[in-house]
Homo-oligomer: A and B are copies of this chain.
Amino acid sequence: MNIPDKVINRLTLYHYILDEYKDEASEFISSTKIAELLNIDNSQVRKDMKYLNNTGKCRVGYNVKELKLAIEQTLGFQKPKDAFIIGAGNLGSALVKYDSFSNYGLNILAMFDNDPLKVGIKINNKEVYHISKLENLVNSLNVDIAILTVPRQFAQDTALYLANSGIKYIWNFVPCILDVPSDVKVWNENLIGNFLQFTHNNIDNE
């Protein structure tokens, strides 16, 4: 089933809440409580839940464990996706150390760089390989997702190299637009755009 982007985003946020809630005494959580924590509308929460199966809904709210599992099943945390990080710089290193990824269905298998000082080291137990090894490892490990964190001036050339090496999905953290063959999908992680959304609609308009 196709789920709108904003719903997927909110389902992840609900999961964060449920994850913290497991230490609480209560077995149930109401949509009102979730809505309050996220500062959104109660009816929105109830609408989003319709995308899930078996939420454990009853008179007093949702069963925390069942709702958590329902989100995990719908968003595919149990079918983890393997990915490589391209660029073992600051951002790449921060992402490989971001332990929450593995709990949410993203397995980072290795990193790639062209800096001889970085090749061969391990960051958070993930080896940094020379970028020339990429095609081999794409094939042998059957990985088609790359997380791109190289410096901006190398991003376009690297993206084409990824495409030629068999990568099909690029999660692009570089603030630039990549021109790639049409069988490769790019997702721009637009941190700056996110910040501008936040400030424009909160600060600038006040």
Q: Which chain A residues have a beta carbon within 8 Å of chain B's beta carbons?
A: 2-3, 5, 8-13, 16-17, 19-20, 37-39, 75-76, 79, 81, 89-91, 93-94, 97-98, 100-101, 104-106, 145, 152, 169, 171, 175-177, 179, 182, 185-205
> Given known contacts A76-B199, A193-B9, A196-B8, is B106 in contact with A97 (CB within 8 Å)?
no
Chain B residue with Cβ nearest A81: B199
A120 to B3, CA, bound (A): 47
A190 to B10, CA, bound (A): 9
Are B37 and A179 in contact (CB-based, < 8 A)? yes
Contacts of A145 in B (CB 8 A): 199
Q: Are A203 and B169 in contact (CB under 8 A)?
A: yes
CB contact under 8 A between A185 and B202, given known A17-B177, A176-B16, A179-B37: yes
Given contacts A97-B90, A100-B175, contact A197 B5 (CB under 8 A): yes
Contact A190 B94 (CB under 8 A): no
Bound complex: CA of A185 vs CA of B206, how far in Å? Answer: 13
CA distance A38 to B190 in the complex (A): 13
Rounded to whole angstroms, the CA-CA distance of A118 and B123 in the bound complex is 20
A193-B13 CB under 8 A given contacts A38-B177, A169-B203, A203-B169: yes
- B8 near A200 with CB under 8 A, answer yes
Residue pair B13, A188 in contact (C-beta under 8 Å): yes
Task: Give the distance to chain B from A123, nearest Cβ to Cβ, in Å.
Answer: 9
Select one of B8, B9, B16, B75 contacting A177, CB under 8 A.
B16
